[in-house]
Amino acid sequence: MRTEKIPATVITGFLGAGKTTLIRNMLENAGGRRIALIINEFGDVGVDGEILRGCGVETCREEDIIELANGCICCTVADDFVPTMRKLLDRKDPPQHIVIETSGLALPQPLVRAFNWPGIKSRVTVDGVITVVDARALAEGRFADNEEAVQAQREADPNLDHENPIGELFEDQINCADMVILNKTDLLGGGGHDAVAAGLKQKVRAGTRVVPTRHGQIDVAALLGVGASAEDDLHNRLSHHEMEGEEQHDHDDFVTFIVPLGEVADRAALLSRIEATIATHDILRLKGFVNVKGSPARLLVQAVGPRLDSYFDRPWKAGETRGTQLVVIGEKHMDRGAIAAMLRG
């Protein structure tokens, strides 16, 4: 009777980031390990399955590749995911490892939470959450190579019950990750991936590794066997809305105010001022949009405690007023004038 839990790896990331290529490389170098695949890249289901079945190795057995085509996996957990997992686990020869390729629209945290369901928790553990990111798209201020295709994927999914903006989805995917695969670095010129990797490292949770790759090539030993037990660590994998919820209270001891700024010439200098201001004045939360001189996209800035994240979330729209406003949240006794002065420099 099996007493050890079967490890499962959740692989997430937007359509076109390279998840299928990563999985195929993993199968080709699995060293005989029996791996079951659950594929949920809605809008590309069928294509992914055929690619993986054609990998030419014994780990690509027909019965070990399961496609969930009813829409985003995090929205169909009870109807699709849990029954599928139970069938896998009840086999006479259950897999040695389970890999789940989510839809690019999936919120990873609800899926990880599902591993606490009765009948699953005692038999499977989330070995790690791997988020695949398109390096070139990120360097160009986008989250996916083809954001229109991501939107089309959203519109084609009849079961999708969340409408998070793509920037929030990206935030959720990297907040939940144990490893971020910065893929397609070969498409960036001379060391261009270093700057993108540095930016990502400022966004991910402490301890999350950012690994640059080309064509999804990574040592299987680094990809599998992470040992994260993510289902027991959900309190460290907050979603965007959970982080937003931290500020939604009416307690008299806290106050929210806005600091308007003009066009920002030096992005790095502004971020340094924000970090210094937070440290000096014990600000609980700061967020806002920044108009960076010469940039066609707006810069989204978010800080929770000392952790500061920033990225270009979308281009400025035609006719949209370009401006910079920072929302500051903290204790009532804060010196608003001093905070505004520090932020303005």
Which amino acid, 232? D
- pLDDT string in tens for the chain (345-residue length): 455 899 999 999 988 898 888 988 888 888 888 888 888 755 444 444 554 554 555 555 667 778 776 656 665 566 677 888 888 889 888 899 999 988 777 788 888 988 988 888 899 999 999 999 999 988 888 888 777 777 776 666 555 555 667 888 899 999 999 999 999 998 887 667 788 888 888 888 888 999 999 888 999 888 998 999 999 888 888 777 676 654 444 444 567 788 999 899 999 999 999 999 988 887 877 888 899 999 999 998 878 666 787 888 788 888 888 889 898 877 777 888 999 999 998
Which amino acid, 149? A
- φ/ψ of residue 216, rounded to 5: 65, 20
> Count of CB atoms within 10 A of residue 325's CB?
13
Give the 3-state secondary structure of residue 133.
strand
The helix, strand and coil proportions of the chain, stated in percent and rounded to the nearest 5, come to 35, 25, 40
Which amino acid, 63? E
Extended beta strands in the chain, E state: 6-12, 35-39, 65-67, 97-101, 124-134, 179-183, 209-212, 254-261, 285-290, 297-304, 307-315, 324-331
From residue 169, how far is each of 12, 83, 137, 193, 255 by CA, in Å?
Answer: 11, 26, 15, 22, 28
pTM: predicted TM-score of the whole model, two decimal places: 0.66
